[in-house]
Amino acid sequence: MILGFSTHKILPDRPQVNRQLLDQTQFPLLASLQACANRRDAPFYTPGHKRGAGTPDGLRTLLGMPALQADLPELPDLDNLFAPQGVIQEAQELAAAAFGAEQTWFLTNGSTGGILAAILATCHPGDKIILPRNVHQSAISGLVLAGAMPVFLQPEYDPQLDIAHSITPEAVTEALSAHPDARAVMMVSPTYYGVCGNVAEIAQRCHQYSIPLLVDEAHGSHFAFHTGLPTPALAAGADLSVQSIHKTLSALTQAAMLHVQGDRIERDRLTRTLALVQSTSPNYLLLASLDAARHQMATQGKELLEQTLSLARQASTEIAQIPGLSLLTPDQAKTPGFAALDPTRLTVTVSGLGIDGFTADKILHNQFGVICELPSLQHLTFIITLGNQATDIHRLVCALKSLPSPFSPSPSFLPPLSSLLPPLSSLLSPLSFPLPPLSPRQAFFSPTETLPIAQATGHISTELICPYPPGIPVLMPGEVVTEAGIAYLQQVLAAGGIISGCSDPDLQTLKVVRM
């Protein structure tokens, strides 16, 4: 299914493609790669394994000769990713039409590359960008590379579930009022748990200030192909979205796309920034997998996703009947940051069984061969895609039924962190949205020193430290370390949570800017 397209105008120097002439049954890049792989020539070009002839036996056995023969460089028939005029350009135009964009770029460095390029394309050194504190680490890397100054928003947080959701239109408006010179807003939708924010309303508020809305839509590449799924970011009015086609569709790992519409983003600059963050030797197996995934969804997407949704409904129905377990559902939307839920993303709360999510994950993995996408203190999150089958659902349900009985709770069971910790909002920026003393770039490139945790208060952090749950960073590079923040992180560890981003996982020391 192909959605209708945005009414935003195309840049005047870029001719509009007549989408009525595009044939979605074609896969130009994949077909060209197949032809080149089958051609017998004398290869005096990279890669060094020469179509698999020099590949070690173990790797050849794992990958197979067809894949190795197709591991080719930028031969004349295969076009150039950074100046496409042939099959890559055709494949990207087909993808733009299928996903509802005005222009699409293929990415071989995952959504990470797209996030980096989006920030570099919209922010000059010193420019402000508004974004949630629970952005992906790649966004912080983008701030470091661009030299941009973050205006962080606290995402809405459900203390009962210990899950952070999206930012709200109201928070965006308050931040824009405080910082009307901001160059862009970035949001995450959907989150890792499948929760979507109010993209449409946030886009409208951004556009009132004539700035673009950038959406990290890494986990939502399937939204455009079935009406039973949340509205895609572009269809809701976003100016740019980055999607990991490998996460929820069928492309190879690390294959992603960046989509743009409208005239609020300088596309030539975006093309240049993409060249900064991607290899000049892109993997054509990844590129071809994007072409193939687009073809699959454009021609069979509705049918495949109908099957996927059916499996998800079956799993949800059966899991909801298991004593001690519950599911994240739209009915649990108790915060304004929860506008919609991806039904193919199942977040199962296991705390009612008297065990934590990490223990449950180990049991499922070691005893039943069932592996979730994301374990957390109270939950397990599972992704159901077009690659799953009924046997997978049966195995999942049987494994969950075999978890320890809810009537004999483990003495090590931890109550929700929300009952043990002070409100996270008390540690983060108030509505005045102050800027950090240093930008992430300045902190990153400053001389550092490692201090005992008791001596770090008042110093400027060079680390991004995030407790799980709720997955909202307490310290960012460039921010001042506070006693309250350290106390919060120590309580998370004491309560059984985990902390990422700290060079010392025991939180005995912190890296700070040398005074």
Residue that is written with structure tokens 């073809």 in the block: 295
On whether the CB atoms of residues 403 and 360 are closer than 8 A, the answer is: yes
Cα separation of 407 and 387, whole Å?
36
Q: What is the pLDDT of residues 192-209, one digit of tens each?
A: 999 999 999 999 999 999
CA neighbor of 436 nearest in space, from 112, 203, 140, 185: 140
Please list, in sequence order, all residues whose beta carbon lies within 8 angstroms of the beta carbon of residue 58, skipping any fewer than 6 positions away: none
pLDDT surpassing 90 at residue 376: no
Spatial separation of the C-alpha atoms in residues 347 and 337, rounded to whole Å: 17
The whole-angstrom separation of Cα 159 and Cα 191 is 16
Greatest Cα pair distance, the chain, in angstroms, is 69
- For residue 5, what pLDDT band results from cuts at 50, 70 and 90? very low
For tokens 């160059």, what's the residue? 183
- d(CA 225, CA 277) in angstroms, rounded, equals 29
Question: Contact 377/357 with Cβ under 8 angstroms?
Answer: yes
**pLDDT band of 158, cuts 50, 70, 90:** confident
Question: Tokens 């809405």, residue?
Answer: 156
For residue 64 the two structure tokens come to 């197979």
pLDDT value at position 204? Answer: 98
Mean pLDDT, the chain, as a whole number?
90
The C-alpha torsion from 234 through 182 and 122 to 116, rounded to 10°, is: -80
Determine how many CB atoms are found less than 10 A away from the CB of residue 431.
10
Task: Provide the residue type at 132 as one letter.
Answer: P
Instruction: Flag whether pLDDT at 412 surpasses 50.
Output: no
Q: How far apart are CA 290 and CA 275, in angstroms?
A: 18
CA distance 375 to 358: 6
**What mean pLDDT do residues 140-147 have?**
94
pLDDT band at 2 (very low <50, low <70, confident <90, very high): very low
pLDDT at 16 over 80: no
pLDDT at 9: 33
Token output for 368 = 């039943």
pLDDT > 70: percent of the chain: 90
Task: Pick from 159-168, 233-242, 332-341 the range whose average pLDDT is largest.
Answer: 233-242
Model confidence pTM above 0.85: yes
Please report which confidence band the pLDDT of residue 37 belongs to, taking 50, 70 and 90 as the band edges: very high
Query: 306: number of CA atoms within 13 Å, CB side?
Result: 5
Between residues 17 and 255, which one has the greater pLDDT?
Answer: 255
CA gap 418, 420 in Å, rounded? 5
- The model's pLDDT over 100-127, given as tens digits with 9 standing for 90+, comes to 999 999 999 999 999 999 999 999 999 9
- In which region does residue 116 sit, left (phi positive, over 0), alpha (psi from -120 to 50) or beta (all else)? alpha
Phi/psi of residue 380, nearest 5 degrees: -125, 130
Entry field: residues in the chain: 515
* Contact yes or no for 277/295 (Cβ under 8 A): no
Tell me how many helices (H) and strands (E) the chain has. 15, 19
Helix spans in 23-123 (H): 28-38, 57-63, 65-69, 87-99, 110-122
Rounded CA gap, 97 and 436, in Å? 41
